[in-house]
Amino acid sequence: MPQQDKNAIRPFHVNVPEEEIAELKNRIKATRWPEKETVLDQSQGVQLATSQELARYWANEYDWRKIEARINSFPHFLTEIDGLDFHFIHVRSKHENAMPILIAHGWPGSIVEQMKLIEPLTNPTAHGGSASDAFHVVIPSMPGYGYSGKPTTTGWDPKRIARAYGELMTRLGYEKYVAQGGDWGAIVVDFMAVQECKGLIGLHTNMPGVIPADVDAAIWSGNPLPSGLSDEEKKACAQVVENKFYYAFLMGTRPQTLIGLSDSPVGLAAFLIDHDWKSYDLISRAFDGQKEGLSRDDILDNITHFWFTNSGISAARLYWENKSSFFGLKTAQGIKLPVAVSVFPDELYEAPKSWAEKAYPNLIHYNKLPKGGHFAAWEQPEFMTSELRTAFKSLR
């Protein structure tokens, strides 16, 4: 294949066949249920009542075509990088001097998680901002996720994804740009900075990897924490321990065993919503009739996206690829670029400013938000939009 064809950027459109939607509903209705948990809380995992209400709504009321139309309202593309097809949304602002930004999702996220940011960032004058706040927005799907290709060989770890994202922005013609990430996306954009990707001038993270190496080692080994930690730093350590991350150990060691994620939609749903206990509370309340943050449709849009792309296991392999360091919560090494940090109260841990200043020597913005959790762009897009406008103002 000629080199110019390999680098081609091809338009992409989503259209799930009607028979696949019908099959999904049939599979949901055919779910074989376990008995109710023997506790009154979530300590045994996703509660039966939550799963059954999710399934009832999914099979009888949820409409995939709404989110499909929303997805297709933005320009989508595919391009081959390092032998793999990368899918991405690319929306250019109408405003002159808009700043290009790459927004990187993680697990169990997808482009669905990030789409609420597109219009406020690209068209700020219609969303409480000024023309000087405008961004050109690029949102890639991670390898093995969504409409990107599924790796058939090993080696697609966060460092390799970071190089691919840098190549994507170069291929799109952006000579200067910024990057934002949460979850795995935060780890990837950190590596983009470490690698000094061409054109990258700054980062924003809502899951900063700032835990000092000695503290991180103590947390995971169960050894006593180093002396001299502040109350805020001790609280952050306790929050990490509290979350346990059992889902990550499963995916990090035996992803292929999770074949139920490809076979059972309700099994997939239960696994995807059991990320951390605060996020689970946020999600479960939506199926308990409460209207705060994420809606039932928000949650099922993402789960259904995983189902139709059959990406439960291919996405899980990212944890296996990164099992040597497992999480990206410890201090990133060698980031010289300007970095902005937003701390949401229901994140996996609330990163202390003292650690952020050490991890990111060129810290240009640090702010604690009053509301929001791990999926901040999805749950609190107004706060995230404001944070990105403020964080990168000095870099324009």
* Residue ranges of domains in the chain, CATH in brackets: 16-64+244-321 (no CATH), 67-211+325-395 (3.40.50.1820)
- Kindly report the number of other CB atoms within 10 A of residue 57's CB atom: 17
Q: What is the predicted pLDDT for the residue at 1? A: 45
Specify the pTM.
0.95
- Residues 6+ positions from 275 with CB-CB distance below 8 Å: 108, 247, 374
Tokens representing 193? Answer: 């900075």
Q: How many residues does the chain have?
A: 396
pLDDT given at position 291: 73
- State the Cα–Cα distance between residues 300 and 288, nearest whole angstrom: 15
pLDDT at residue 325 in the model: 55
- Give long-range contacts, CB 8 A cutoff, 24+ apart: 39-43: 42/277, 42/280, 42/281, 42/284
Confidence (pLDDT) at 390: 97
* Token duo for residue 272: 């995807």
Annotated catalytic sites, by residue? 183, 319, 374
3-state secondary structure the chain: CCHHHHCCEEEECCCCCHHHHHHHHHHHHCCCCCCCCCCCCCCCCCCHHHHHHHHHHHHHCCCHHHHHHHHHCCCEEEEEECCEEEEEEEECCCCCCCEEEEEECCCCCCHHHHHHHHHHHHCHHHCCCCHHHCEEEEEECCCCCCCCCCCCCCCCCHHHHHHHHHHHHHHCCCCCEEEEECCHHHHHHHHHHHCCCCCEEEEEECCCCCECHHHHHHHHHCCCCCCCCCHHHHHHHHHHHHHCCHHHHHHHHCHHHCCHHHHCHHHHHHHHHCCCHHHHHHHHHHCCCCCCCCCHHHHHHHHHHHHHHCCHHHHHHHHHHCCCCCCCCECCCCCCCCEEEEECCECCCCCCHHHHHHHCCCEEEEEECCCCECCHHHHCHHHHHHHHHHHCHHHC
Regions of the chain with pLDDT less than 70: 1-4, 324-331
What does the pLDDT look like over 341-368, one tens digit per residue? 999 999 999 999 999 999 999 999 999 9
